[in-house]
Amino acid sequence: MSNKKNKDIKIDDSESENENESGSDRDSDLDSDGNYIGDKELQADFEGRNPEDCDFHGIKQLLRQLFLKSNVDLGELAQIIISQNYVGSVVKQCLDDGQDDDDEDDDGSDGVFGVTTVINITKRKDESCVQQIRTLLMTLAEENANDKTKALVNKILSDDDRHVGLVINERILNIPAAISVPLFASLQSELEKAVNRDMPYTFQYLIWICKTYNTGEDSSEVLFANQEEKPLLEEALASFEVDVTEQADLSQWDYEGGALTPCRKVLIFDGSKFNNLVRLLKEEVENV
């Protein structure tokens, strides 16, 4: 495909010695949605590409992981991501050696493993799904944030002169954090090019919704579903947490004898700090 971007990353194979395991054992490594949840590493090469129409359903499914049952039109949001495909990437599996990129029988629709992008929710405030996201953020802040954070959320979503970017960084379980490094490096470059062309991608604020899990009754430890996002918390102007137990299909997961409670942590950043955030997530990946 002519719009493919070279951001390849390889996952080392550690399963070759177990190729003869029974079908029932393999089935036990899948959850109710067919996602792989086993502890073996799978061999695969992935790359970042510009979002295309054929990625619609895959992107929508990834967005559902983030927004769960919130009142957001995920189909329309997926279309926005595709429509601004000059900014952001989807993660697809690389084609096998010898397979023609232009194979007419392959529309590329199988397997969107991740999506990384940013959406201007100020410029697009009149689009219905963005309206829903803005309302959701204000409602969640009202119900979960302290007074200072509530005021900040209301301020940045009420001032049309100061643009707010919503960062989306989603991928399926077991895709390693390392893939985020080239994806965000590409996003940096794409945003710079867009700004140089006077496109509306200069952000005064960024909002980043992270999937997290609390452990123990006192929620003393917070686990980030995307490990690279962990160091970003300290850089936030403000943040608040939302318990999404009632929306999640599985309210708790076992964790070293305890349980994980699914949450969303909403982080608000100074928009000028984006490059620093990318540096921090890269350092986190390198130190894992």
| Rounded-to-integer distance, Cα 219 and Cα 210, Å | 16
Q: How many C-beta atoms surround the C-beta of residue 229 within 10 A?
A: 24
Task: Report the top-level CATH class of 46-94+107-287.
Answer: alpha beta
Helix axes 56-67, 74-83, angle to 10 degrees: 120
Tokens, residue 202 = 């200069």
pLDDT bracket for residue 111 (50, 70, 90): confident
- pLDDT tens across 221-269, in order? 788 999 999 999 999 999 999 999 888 765 455 555 567 889 999 999 9
Residues whose CB falls within 8 Å of the CB of residue 220, separated by 6 or more in sequence, listed in order: none
Lowest mean pLDDT among 8-12, 100-104, 118-122, 176-180: 8-12
Indicate the pairing of strand 9-11 with strand 253-255: unpaired
| Rounded-to-integer distance, Cα 264 and Cα 250, Å | 15
The gap from C-alpha 80 to its chain's centroid, in whole angstroms, comes to 15
Quickly list DSSP for 223-248: EESSGGGGGGGGG-SEEEEEE-TTTS
Tokens, residue 235 = 């850089």
| Rounded-to-integer distance, Cα 105 and Cα 84, Å | 26
| pLDDT at residue 97 in the model | 53
| Rounded-to-integer distance, Cα 274 and Cα 277, Å | 5
Residue the block writes with tokens 């096998």? 96
Residue type, 261: T
13: pLDDT strictly greater than 60: no
Q: Looking at the whole model, is its pTM more than 0.75? A: yes
- pLDDT tens across 202-229, in order? 999 999 999 999 886 665 678 899 999 9
Q: Point out which residues pair with 263 in neighbouring strands.
A: 212, 243
Distances 182 to 67, 78, 116, 123 between C-alpha atoms, Å: 25, 22, 11, 27
Q: What is the mean pLDDT of the chain?
A: 83
Choice between 156 and 99, residue whose per-residue pLDDT is larger: 156
178: pLDDT strictly greater than 90: yes
Q: Is 23 exposed, middle or buried (0-12, 13-18, 19+ CB in 10 A)?
A: exposed
| pLDDT at residue 255 in the model | 57
201: pLDDT strictly greater than 90: yes
Residue type, 13: D
- pLDDT tens across 14-59, in order? 333 344 444 445 444 544 444 444 555 555 688 889 999 999 999 9
Element (H, E) at 82: helix 74-83
Tokens, residue 65 = 């992981």
